[in-house]
Structure 1
Amino acid sequence: MQTLVTDLLVTLAYAVVGVLLMGIGYALVDMATPGRLNELIWVDRNRNAALLLASNLAGVGIIVVAAIAASEDDFMLGIIGTAAYGILGLVIMAAAFLLLDALTPGRLGQILVEPEPHPAVWVSAVVHLATGAIIAAAIS
């Protein structure tokens, strides 16, 4: 029974770190978009903003899963590594977004608020997912 309780607490700790990292990811996407992200997605039903946010959250999730898997049953190292790799991933995702924005015509942030789906958002979403996968591969 003690093992079950310990495992549940460890799971809870990793979940808290993962959710906090996704919250930071949400805030970063919100900063990159003109207007309020929650209104764009939940009120205006903007698919561009929803796709970018979903890809960011999935990228963070990929990193968190890889960091947990690489922790090799060392809880302290695992939880610190998960937080550190998650923050690194978010920084790299933000840098990749800014680089893509600098190298392409128009402003990605402005494209995100357009009511019609835009192909550039798909490209940006794949950058988020690829970044998460690259970091996950580097962890393992």
Structure 2
Amino acid sequence: MFRTLVVDLLLTLAYGGVGLALMALGYLLVDVVTPGKLHQLIWVERNRNATILLASNLVAVGIIVVAAIAAGENSFVTGLVGTTAYGLLGLAVMAVSFVLLDAVTPGRLGDILVDREPHPAVWVSAVVHLATGAIVAAAIS
């Protein structure tokens, strides 16, 4: 029983590491598509638009990772590789959705999404992130 607990804890730690790495990559992607630095915008300037955008991205990545873990094979290596692959695919799909939304937005979407004044476009972008994460998660199972 103790051995099973230790193995399960190590597996959880490994999946947690993959999830954190994917969320860090999601953070970097949002930082790239928005002007300025996210840490400055969110933690210093308290920019609500940037916060909503980043939070929706992180939740979407989390949804994908949870679905990939739940659908994972009984093999630890296969499950971990699958979780990583689905997470990366989800980030790629979210990036494409951002580019497509930017194409139909007047002006530059990144500029709008970090404006100091609340802007309704951030909610549209956030929902696109969440919906994309949910779609990828549903496709996994």
Deviations 1:86-134 (A, max 9, x none): 0000011011001000012121110122111110010000000000000
Higher mean Cα deviation, 109-118 or 90-99?
A: 109-118
2:35 is paired with a residue whose SS is coil
| Structure-1 residue corresponding to 2:4 | 3
TM-score (norm 2): 0.97
Q: How many residues align?
A: 140
TM-score (norm 1): 0.98
Higher mean Cα deviation, 42-51 or 110-119?
A: 110-119
Q: Which runs of at least 4 in structure 1 moved beyond 4 Å after TM superposition?
A: none
State the one-letter code of the partner of 1:40. Answer: L
- Please list every run of 5 or more consecutive structure 1 residues that lacks an aligned counterpart in the other structure: none
CA distance in 2, matches of 1:6, 1:42: 38
1:34 is paired with a residue whose SS is coil
Deviation at 1:73, TM superposition (A): 2.5
Higher mean Cα deviation, 6-15 or 103-112?
A: 103-112
- Please list every run of 5 or more consecutive structure 2 residues that lacks an aligned counterpart in the other structure: none
CA distance in 1, matches of 2:78, 2:124: 34
| Structure-2 residue corresponding to 1:74 | 75
CA distance in 1, matches of 2:137, 2:107: 31
Higher mean Cα deviation, 40-49 or 99-108?
A: 99-108
Listed as ranges, the matches of 1:43-82 within 5 Å are: 43-82=44-83
CA distance in 2, matches of 1:113, 1:60: 21
Percent identity (aligned) = 71
CA distance in 1, matches of 2:16, 2:76: 13
CA distance in 1, matches of 2:103, 2:57: 19
CA distance in 2, matches of 1:73, 1:45: 43
State the one-letter code of the partner of 2:3. Answer: Q
Deviation at 1:72, TM superposition (A): 3.7
CA distance in 2, matches of 1:95, 1:29: 12
State the one-letter code of the partner of 2:71. Answer: A
Q: How well do the aligned residues superpose, as a CA RMSD in angstroms? A: 0.7
State the one-letter code of the partner of 1:129. Answer: L
Deviations 1:44-70 (A, max 9, x none): 000000000000000000000000000
Deviations 1:15-74 (A, max 9, x none): 000000000000000001101010000000000000000000000000000000001432
Deviation at 1:75, TM superposition (A): 1.0
